[in-house]
Amino acid sequence: MRIATWNINSVRLRINRVAEFAKANDPDVICLQETKVMDDLFPLEAVQEMGYPHVAISGMKSYNGVAILSRVPLKDVQRQEWCGKSDCRHISAVLPGGIELHNFYVPAGGDEPDREKNEKFGHKLDFLDEMNEWFPANRTTRKKMVLVGDLNIAPLETDVWSHKQLLKVVSHTPIEVEKLGNVQDSLNWTDAVRHFIPEDEKLFSWWSYRARDWDTSDRGRRLDHVWVTPPLKKTLKGATVLRDQRGGEKPSDHVPVMVDFDL
C-alpha cells in the first residue's frame, strides 16, 4: 500500500495536478489538506475518474479542509473538532486490515511566536496539547494507526534551511518542536519519512511563494509528515518527498510525501 499526503492549497484550482500525480505515482490513498472548498462543491467526479471511488471529505469555504481519496474502502469516517472549533482540520477513516488513518491540518500559527500577542499561535499550541491528550486517552500503542498531514512544524535542525535563523520563526520555535515531540511520544509514533531518510540529511516539503526562485534559494521547511504506531513500523518499506512537484504550472507551496507499506 502507498499512502500520500499533500497540502494542495485549493483542490479545485489544482485538481489536474492531483490527477497527474496520481497517474505518475500510483498511490492507493491520497490525503489532502487545505482543500478550501465546501463539501457540496468538492470535485468528486474528477477524483472518481482518477480511480478513487472512496472519498471522505470535511470542507469549508475558502479555508482549511481535509480529504481522503482512496482506492480501497473507507469505514468509520470521523470528523473531529479540536479546540472547540468547527474548522475542518481533521478527518479519519479505517482502511482494510483495521488500519486507522488520521489526516490533520494543524494551524499554521500566524507570524508572531507569542500567544499573548498572537491568538493564532495560542490556537496552534492548544491544538497540539489537545492532540497529545486525545491519543493516549482514546487509543493505545497496540492499535495500527497512520497519522499524516501538514503538521506545520519542522522539528529537526535539518528540517529547515537554517536552524539558527528560524529559531524564532513560527514552525521551528522550541516550544512548537517540544509540543510536537510530546504528541509523537504519546503513542511512540515513528516518523516514517525519517525512518528511511537520515536525520542529518536536509529535507523539505514546503517552499514559500515569496521566493523569486524557490529551487535555487532552497529556503524550505519539512512541514508535512507521516507517522505510524509500533505495530506498523515493521511494515514500512520506503518514503519519498516529491520535490519536483513544487515546480511547474500553478504549484502548491507544499509537495507530496509518500510512504510505502508491505501489508
Give the domain CATH number at 197.
3.60.10.10
CB-CB contact of 112 with 141 (8 Å)? no
| pLDDT of amino acid 50 | 97
Q: In the prediction, which pLDDT does 130 show?
A: 98
Residues 40-62: tens digit of each pLDDT: 999 999 999 999 999 999 999 99
User: 210 with 198: CB under 8 angstroms?
Assistant: no
- For residue 189, the model assigns a pLDDT of 98
**Bridging pattern class, strands 75-78 and 90-95:** antiparallel
Q: What is the mean pLDDT of the chain?
A: 98
Q: What pLDDT, on the 0 to 100 scale, is given for residue 153?
A: 98
* pLDDT of res. 76: 98
Bridge partners (DSSP) of residue 23 are none
Q: Would you place residue 1 in the very low, low, confident or very high pLDDT band (cuts 50, 70, 90)?
A: very high
CB neighbourhood size of 103 (10 A) = 26
Q: Are strands 2-7 and 29-33 parallel, antiparallel or unpaired?
A: parallel
- Residue 89 contacts residue 17 (beta carbons within 8 Å): no
Instruction: Quickly tell me which residue has 494542495 as its cell.
Output: 8
Q: How would residue 23 be classed by pLDDT, with cut points 50, 70 and 90?
A: very high
pLDDT of residue 226: 99
At 243-263, the pLDDT tens digits run 999 999 999 999 999 999 999
Q: What pLDDT does 158 receive?
A: 98
Q: Angle at Cα 104 formed by Cα 102 and Cα 108, nearest 5°?
A: 165
Q: What's at 246, amino acid-wise?
A: R
Hey, which residues does 221 pair with through a beta bridge?
160, 206
> What integer pLDDT is reported at residue 131 of this predicted model?
98
198-219: average pLDDT: 96
pTM of the model: 0.98
pLDDT value for 95:
98
How many CB atoms lie under 10 A from the CB of residue 63?
Answer: 14
How many domains would you assign to the chain?
1
Strands (DSSP E) contained in the chain are 2-7, 29-33, 54-58, 66-70, 75-78, 90-95, 99-105, 145-150, 190-191, 206-207, 220-221, 224-228, 236-241, 257-261
Tell me the pLDDT tens digit for each residue of 114-159.
999 999 999 999 999 999 999 999 999 999 999 999 999 999 999 9
Grid cell 490513498 in the structure block, residue: 29
For residues 49 and 47, give the distance between their C-alpha atoms in angstroms, rounded to a whole number. Answer: 5
Q: Which domain holds residue 63?
A: 2-261
The residue with cell 485549493 is 10
Closest CA to 224 of 198, 176, 191: 191
What per-residue confidence (pLDDT) applies to 146?
98
Strands across the sheet containing 224-228: 75-78, 90-95, 99-105, 145-150, 224-228, 190-191
Spatial contact of 90 and 98, defined as CB atoms under 8 Å apart: no
Percent of the chain clearing pLDDT 90 (strictly above): 99
Residue 103, pLDDT score: 99
State whether residue 232 is helix, strand or coil: helix
